[in-house]
């Protein structure tokens, strides 16, 4: 493993034992989660074992939602290990194959490691590498992690996802506690997520703007797509971001985006709805499949203010050679009135409305 990647120093405890010991990386999980990760058996079966006393923590009876702590000994039924070996169909085949590979040296390399914070790792994911395996692609960050850390008691897990063709900062948790804490921070909007993108056309605003839509997943010509809907539309979810221009040209503009909500394809859908799709976007713009998508996760700032950053690997006239300053959200950010969507330039007197539909 190269110096750019984290060493596989996670605590190891063989899962093939009737009395596994809870490792530090597994601490804090509900018992059912612990059993599912260790055994990969149906939840109903595990629930029944716990309810009938066949599973115990430190020799005592327990409940399915009891929390396990580092050092706890969990007693399993004598047939659990054999059943686990015979029942791994719940895992995607690429992950299952990756976990069976005990030689990390034969695995594809992990992306460069940008930084760490305890059991939280920040990788610089390249464009073209999916976060998870799926139809038509077996290679992914998840399967590579499974191969590199096949002996770890808790397999490092992506905290969030980036689209396959989106590059940049992606967080991975190497312990359950780190995963839970980071996902809570994301849901509570306590992390800063900034992107840069080249968009089609000349962005018409010189100042930072608030962009607001309501998005809903719909079927368009047989494909799922995030579409802008009215504020009162069923299942519509508010999408907010701040956009600041970095370089504006007649044919294309480089903008910096700070997400205020985390919706699927949010940046691509919102910018496209305004008439400024991301360059190379075949789903929401006019790009052709296989062309480079000029969208990059530039910066993530943890609640304790530690920041992870990376510049995109764009070259030529699209290159970004220096890190732009963070977008200041401010404590007095004015919200647009309830039913309106569009672009709201931020001024001294609050947000002023400028619809760009």
Contact present, 40 and 20 (Cβ < 8 Å): no
Calculate Rg over the CA atoms of the chain.
23
pLDDT value of position 232: 87
pLDDT value of position 279: 96
pLDDT, averaged in runs of 10, over the chain (357 residues): 45 64 92 88 91 93 93 91 70 48 73 96 96 83 91 91 96 96 93 97 93 91 87 90 94 96 94 96 88 96 95 95 88 63 72 47
Contact present, 63 and 31 (Cβ < 8 Å): yes
Q: Quote the CA–CA distance of 163 and 79 in Å, as a whole number.
A: 41
Helix, strand, or coil here: 82? helix
Tell me which of 3, 163, 180, 281 is the catalytic residue: 163
Q: Which CATH class is domain 190-351?
A: alpha beta
Of 223, 166, 171, 174, the residue nearest 197 (C-alpha): 166
Question: Which residues of the chain does CATH 3.30.2350.10 include?
Answer: 190-351
Whole-prediction pTM:
0.83
pLDDT value of position 285: 92
What are the Cα distances from residue 92, in Å, to 40, 109, 141, 277? 12, 20, 14, 33
Q: Which helix (H) or strand (E) holds 47?
A: helix 43-51
- Catalogue the E-assigned strands of 3-69: 56-57
Region at 202 (left for phi over 0; alpha for psi -120 to 50; beta for the rest): beta
- Catalogue the E-assigned strands of 166-236: 167-173, 192-200, 209-220, 223-229
Tell me how crowded residue 217 is: count the other CB atoms within 10 A of its CB.
15
163 in catalytic set: yes
Tell me how crowded residue 140 is: count the other CB atoms within 10 A of its CB.
22
pLDDT value of position 181: 96
pLDDT value of position 216: 94
Per-position b or e across 4-26, b if 16+ CB within 10 A of its CB: ebbeeebbebebeeeebbbbbbb
């Amino acid at each position: 493993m190269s110096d750019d990647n984290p060493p596989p120093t996670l605590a190891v405890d063989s899962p093939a034992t009737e009395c596994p010991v809870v490792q530090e990386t597994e601490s804090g999980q509900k018992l059912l989660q612990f059993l599912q990760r260790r055994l990969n058996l149906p939840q109903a079966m595990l629930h029944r074992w716990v309810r009938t006393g066949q599973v115990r923590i430190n020799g005592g009876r327990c409940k399915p939602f009891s929390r396990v702590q580092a050092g706890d000994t969990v007693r399993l039924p004598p047939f659990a290990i054999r059943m686990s070996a015979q029942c791994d169909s719940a895992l995607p085949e690429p992950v299952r194959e990756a976990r069976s590979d005990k030689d990390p040296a034969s695995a594809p390399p992990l992306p460069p490691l940008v930084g760490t914070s305890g059991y939280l790792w920040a990788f610089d994911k390249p464009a073209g590498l999916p976060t998870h395996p799926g139809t038509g692609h077996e290679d992914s960050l998840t399967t590579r992690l499974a191969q590199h850390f096949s002996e770890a008691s808790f397999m490092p897990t992506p905290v969030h996802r980036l689209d396959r063709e989106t590059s940049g900062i992606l967080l991975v948790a190497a312990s359950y506690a780190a995963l839970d804490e980071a996902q809570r921070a994301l849901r509570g909007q306590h992390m800063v997520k900034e992107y840069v993108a080249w968009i089609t056309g000349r962005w018409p605003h010189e100042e930072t703007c608030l962009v607001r839509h309501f998005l809903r997943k719909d079927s368009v010509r047989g494909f799922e797509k995030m579409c802008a809907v009215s504020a009162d539309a069923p299942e519509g979810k508010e999408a907010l971001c701040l956009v600041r221009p970095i370089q504006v040209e007649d044919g294309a503009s480089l903008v910096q985006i700070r997400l205020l909500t985390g919706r699927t394809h949010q940046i691509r859908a919102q910018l496209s709805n305004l008439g400024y799709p991301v360059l190379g976007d075949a789903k929401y713009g006019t790009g052709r499949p296989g062309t480079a998508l000029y969208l990059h996760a530039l910066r993530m700032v943890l609640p304790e203010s530690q920041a992870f950053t990376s510049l995109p690997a764009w070259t030529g006239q699209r290159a970004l050679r220096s890190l732009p300053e963070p977008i200041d959200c401010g404590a007095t950010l004015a919200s647009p009135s309830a039913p309106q969507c569009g672009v709201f330039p931020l001024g001294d007197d609050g947000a002023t409305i400028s619809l760009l539909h």
